[in-house]
Amino acid sequence: MNDLIKKLVEAYGPSGFEDHMRDLIRPEVEPYVDEMSVDALGNLITLKKGDGSGLKVMIAAHMDEIGVMVTHITKEGFLRFTNIGGVRPHGLWGSRVQFANGVIGMIGSDRIDDRSKIHPLSKHYIDVGATSAEDCPVGVGDAAGFVQPFFTNGKLLTSKTMDDRIGCVVAIEALKRLETTPHDVYFVFSVQEEVGTRGAEAAANGIDPDVGIALDVTITGDVPECPPMSVSLGKGAAIKVKDSGMIAHAGLVRLMRQRAEAANIAHQMEVLDGGSTDARSIQIANGGAAAGCISIPCRYVHSQSETVHADDVQACIDLLVEILSKPIEL
């Protein structure tokens, strides 16, 4: 599975620019689905048909990543930029970014006299080796994603864009294992989650599912001086109960817990103070849906070294297969 993880996490795909990601995922899922389409926003929507006795279920994992977009090019050829999604200024200096055309740039910042302070995004720039605005190889409006290779440290897996390429991996691997299901299951690889769960909202409005499950990362409470949270690496799939955007459907939470316990799948309960997922959009689309989230515990979310545990990833795959392979009674 690490080969698939490496291929997806190292790829380019900021919010709004997910075409390359879609091209990578399409051949991975095509042999296992009955239908496949791309909607107007760019969501890759696949359908695995059930036997007709179940529900309409939407599984959502977002393809996009946080990034930056050029807003201005100085006369000396340096790029000023804005954020795409939750980019944190304190992790920018010295970072590398890559544009769709392959150009790589280094991020620097204006002079700062008080090193205890952090410049805002507006005081940072990207150096792509240009000497003027005229010879700059990228332009205003071009987007870039961060550059960081995937590596393993025992069972710890680290890279940029684990949020949410690891959710895409969980969806792909579950789809490969899901031989039969009573449900019509729509596996949606969604766009623009990092800027407001926009892709999932459009997809859910089109699909109108009975049940929706997002696959996304969540932060952990197992590092020094972090906010208290009962999620840790290596302790299994995190079953979301609540985050800042939604309260998960109580019946779906109960079902997830029961299936995990019955199959001896390691799991933990998640209550997240900040942030939300595609499940929020699914929950309130059209007339509403029973929505929840299977979360992959992740350290250093929205950094270039997002870290997950291989056992947790496998537990999320196992739990999703257990849910989809049997009737869903809420």
Which DSSP letter does residue 31 get?
Answer: G
Tell me the catalytic residues.
193
CB 179 within 8 A of CB 39: no
* Omega within 30 of 0 (cis) for the link into 164: yes
**Which residues have C-beta within 8 Å of that of residue 168, sequence separation ≥ 6?**
8, 25, 61, 62, 63, 189, 215
Residue 52 exposed, middle or buried by CB count within 10 Å (0-12, 13-18, 19+): exposed
Residue 3 exposed, middle or buried by CB count within 10 Å (0-12, 13-18, 19+): exposed
> Which two structure tokens, joined as six digits, stand for 46?
């696949």
Pairing mode of beta strands 211-218, 56-62 = parallel
How remote is the C-alpha of 271 from its chain's centroid?
18
Helix (H) or strand (E) segment spanning residue 212: strand 211-218
Closest by alpha carbon to 191, among 37, 64, 280, 69?
A: 64
